[in-house]
Structure 1
Amino acid sequence: MKQILVVDDSAVIRKVARRILEGLELSTSEAADGRKALDACAAAMPDAILLDWNMPEMDGFEFLRELRRMPGGRTPKVVFCTTENEAGHIAAAIDAGADEYIMKPFDQQIVRSKLEEIGFI
């Protein structure tokens, strides 16, 4: 079963994402910020990451740059999931190594579609 890490400072968003992803038969784990997510990746690199942009400690953009420098860190598919909708933010995320971008709020159809587009499911 493929493993996906949900990184978001909102427990509600993590819970919603977990339900959606488990409904797609994906194994999920969670992290409340970028630092905790890096620790999780160092312990066991996931196959994909659903990543919030705005978080305390380390935001999603900083996390993504650090992830891509880690051994094996270029492997996971990364989907930003955020309220940031400016073209500059989207371009910066893709340039930093994100594979796709989802706007909040999201639902199962949107998540499934984006994961299919990047060849994850």
Structure 2
Amino acid sequence: MTPHVLIAEDDEDISRLLEAKLRSAGFEVTLFEDGEACWTYLERLDSVDDAPPDLLILDVMMPKLDGFRILGRINESETLRDLPVLMLTARSRETDVVRGLELGATDYVAKPFSVSELAARADKLIGRP
């Protein structure tokens, strides 16, 4: 089965670059340009019997709903709390990294970043060799 990755990123260039890299690495990809659209999708999964995605790549600074608030909501959800979340953000201060990890992020990558490294981290987070 093809692993499914959600990407919540408001920078279209970054989201398209990630989409291309992850698709070429064998992932199914769904893109969201703001936090509210991402949460609406996840919330719907929480209320039906659809399988959650295998990974969420989440920006912090997004319109409508930021990544930290989404993380908090994920951790309050019995269905979603085990979803691996890789934070991908320009907010790289130690306090931001610690906050993300304390809120439940599985990994944290600061921008600028290597697309190949991010794809390798995605593989590791979903348990793919």
What's the TM-score, normalizing by structure 2?
0.85
Q: How much does 1:118 deviate?
A: 3.0
What is aligned with 2:68? 61
What is aligned with 1:14? 15
When structure 1 is superposed on structure 2, of 34-43 and 53-62 the one drifting more is 34-43
1:103 corresponds to which of 106, 110, 123: 110
When structure 1 is superposed on structure 2, of 44-53 and 55-64 the one drifting more is 44-53
What is aligned with 2:37? 36
CA contact (8 A) 1:77 1:120 kept: no
Q: How much does 1:115 deviate?
A: 2.3
Larger Rg, first or second structure (1 or 2): 2
1:72-83 maps to which residues of 2 (within 5 A)?
Answer: 72-83=79-90
CA contact (8 A) 1:47 1:76 kept: yes
Distance 1:67 1:101 in 2: 16
Gaps of 5+ in 2: 46-51
When structure 1 is superposed on structure 2, of 5-14 and 92-101 the one drifting more is 5-14
Q: Percent identity?
A: 21
Q: How many residues align?
A: 121
What's the TM-score, normalizing by structure 1?
0.90
* Runs (4+) off by over 6 Å: none
